[in-house]
Amino acid sequence: MGTNTQFFQIAAIIISLAAFGEAFWLYKWVKALPASNPQIASIGKLIKNGANTFLKKEYETLARFCGVAAIIIFVFLPSPIWMGNPLDNVIVVVAYLCGTIFSAIAGKIGITVSTIANMKAAEASTKGIKPSFMAGFRGGAVMGMAVVGSSLLGVTLVLILTDNTTALLGFSFGASSLALFAKAGGGIFTKTADISADLVGKVELGIPEDDPRNPAVIADNVGDNVGDVAGMGADLFDSNVASMAAALVIGSDIDTINGNTINSSMVLCYATLGLLASIIGVATARIGKNGSPTRALNSSTYITTGVFAALTGAATYAFNFEWRIWLASIIGLLVGVIIGIASDYFTNDTKKPVHIVATASESGPAFTILSGISYGFISAFPAMIGIGVSALAAYKVCEPLGPGYAMFGIAMAAVGMLSIVAMIISNDAYGPIVDNGRGLVEMGDLGDTALEITDSLDSAGNTVKAITKGFAIGAAGLTVIALLGTFISEVNVKITELNIATPDLHMPALTGFDIMDPLVFFGLLVGAAIPAVFSAMLILGVQRNAQRMIKEIHRQFNEIIGLREGKKGVVPEYDKCIEIATTGAIKELVPAGLFVIIITVLVGFIGGVKATGGFLTGNIISGLLFALFMSNSGGLWDNTKKYVESGHNGGKGSDTHKAAVVGDTVGDPFKDTAGPSINTQITVVSLVASLLSTFFLTMSIF
């Protein structure tokens, strides 16, 4: 059989539709589960309304931003409208808007299913661990199937309709710009509520985590949905699209030179088989009557990994693809698993680092913070080495195939690492669903056995979340290295065009970036500083918002008579806290996102393509380090708190517990606001640079 791209495009569409089919079946299965508890139904309704209100306001704000961005893109990209073909500009604008719409839909689907699945998981916990686990996992899997199905379908349709890789970058930029704001906004919302609820509830008043007396408790549960489900869905949608876009741009450049379509076909084939492997993995996920939820989640990931390796091996043989490129993909996939295992070691409450931080907490919160930060920094080391080794190995394995293949190898390692992303999203979305389920069990007073079951499901969600975050950051690392290759290849295409148009120009092609060149070094320093400033802006946003909410919680406890004592019929004003979190998050999310885009454009116009190359390199290295450090130290503090709460080192209510809660409060914006937003930030600046490469080449100051 020949390697006709059309065949693989049709296959990609069929498998995407199969993923939507499975998502719909799982959604129906979750919705059909029994729901009879009126208390849970009324609290679940409050959570659902709060999440939808926030999402509506956030999307209204982002629609205005996207509208302005679309006008700018129409005027300037891929070349100024007065200089090029206006139709090309229209194509890029439409692709950009489609990217934002697909990304927004991914978030909306996540909210819709998670706010149903949390109630079902809560009620199922009265029947045992198995039904409750399946409700949480299958709810999360709806998200996994829908997000990856729509990203593969979107990329394939853009390719079929435009046959234009710049349009593909436009689609990817739409997805990543929306993801950047959705992740930042959701992260600020969720951590505002979480920190406020913890500091007033646990530290000041000594009341349980999800006590219905706490005015911030519903906002906290809403936050799990808008931050960890909708934001994370948009984030991984973006990573998946960006990895495919980078591989397709580099692959089609090589194909153009060689006069075939084999590399583009290979990207589509592997992405399609990754989704197929995830469909199989989700369908086979099971847990025994008294099984371990962590083992069930991890084993389904390993099954998916094995199925992907086997399917792509068979396809490589059948379609006569290059075995070296297959090997690069498998290297990416295995390193993703290894990064996940490393993250697990530093954050799992059965492992040594958590126990050491819990012991340190006996001496007060200062030692909780110091030990947690130290282990967070150490944890970044194996992951950074993993990303570096996989990039180097993929580069060297594919280098003998000819010019361009080394960078294509790195791009395919990223595609390999993200091939099982539907499974990763399913595991990740499971976490906030069962976390909400646990809260509903406590608020609905379903008894100690149900609470123990949802506690163990929540603990597994936290452990797996650390693995999936490590995986997502590792994949983003490889993707942005590939996007750096995309930037070079876009610049070189333009240099060739300029040399043809002006025969005596003789502009040399770009082969890399010499850090001894002052322009490159200038860009490197600015790029390395961006993740730190971006993180600070988001964390300060959380802090300002949380201070406003804590004032409101104090007001309610002081003014609403009988609330503190928990008198029957006395209900806090939950909507006031939801309103504070919503307004603050929307106010804080735009400046941080705009800051990184504006600085990228300024560096390009000042120093041209060389400074931009340095900027991207510095941004990638510093961004990966910050993202890994913050995600892992945050996860470590969270599980230390849970470890102490389960009766170790003094248990609940002790001074150790208070110190651990302070650590968790610091870790919250680390792991759920700044950390996961950084990998989207790196992707956004890489895509802005690639899209504006023509300007940076022809119109810079130096």
What domain count does the chain have? 1
Q: Phi and psi of 364, rounded to 5°? A: 115, 165
Q: H helices of 560-654, where?
A: 574-645
**Residue 297 to residues 5, 101, 117, 165: CA-CA distances in angstroms?**
35, 30, 17, 37
> What is the arithmetic mean of pLDDT over 51-57?
92
Note the pLDDT tens digit of each residue in 161-196: 998 888 999 999 999 999 888 888 999 999 999 999
Note the pLDDT tens digit of each residue in 573-598: 999 999 999 999 988 888 999 999 99
Buried residues in 5-40 as b, exposed as e (16+ CB within 10 A): beebbebbbebbeebeebbeebbebbeebebebeeb
* Alpha-carbon span 615 to 523, nearest angstrom: 4
* pLDDT above 80 (res 647): yes
Q: What pLDDT does 1 receive?
A: 32
What DSSP element (H or E) covers 678? helix 675-691
546: which residues sit within 8 A by CB, 6+ positions away? 191, 192, 195, 196, 199
Sign for the pseudo-dihedral over CA of 458, 460, 463, 465: negative
Separation of first and last alpha carbons in the chain: 52
More confident residue, 207 or 621: 621
20-34, 333-347, 526-540, 669-683: range with lowest mean pLDDT: 333-347
> What is the arithmetic mean of pLDDT over 81-86?
86
> What is the arithmetic mean of pLDDT over 364-387?
95
205-219, 269-283, 522-536, 548-562: range with lowest mean pLDDT: 205-219
Note the pLDDT tens digit of each residue in 459-471: 888 777 767 777 7
Q: Which domain holds residue 462?
A: 5-698
pLDDT band for position 234 (cuts 50, 70, 90): confident
* Alpha-carbon span 581 to 678, nearest angstrom: 21
Q: Which two tokens stand for residue 330?
A: 């498998």
Quote the mean pLDDT of the chain.
Answer: 91
353-362, 426-435, 501-510, 579-588: range with lowest mean pLDDT: 501-510
* Alpha-carbon span 134 to 282, nearest angstrom: 11
* pLDDT above 60 (res 303): yes
Q: What pLDDT does 581 receive?
A: 94
* Alpha-carbon span 347 to 342, nearest angstrom: 9
Q: What pLDDT does 2 receive?
A: 38
Percent of the chain with pLDDT over 70: 99
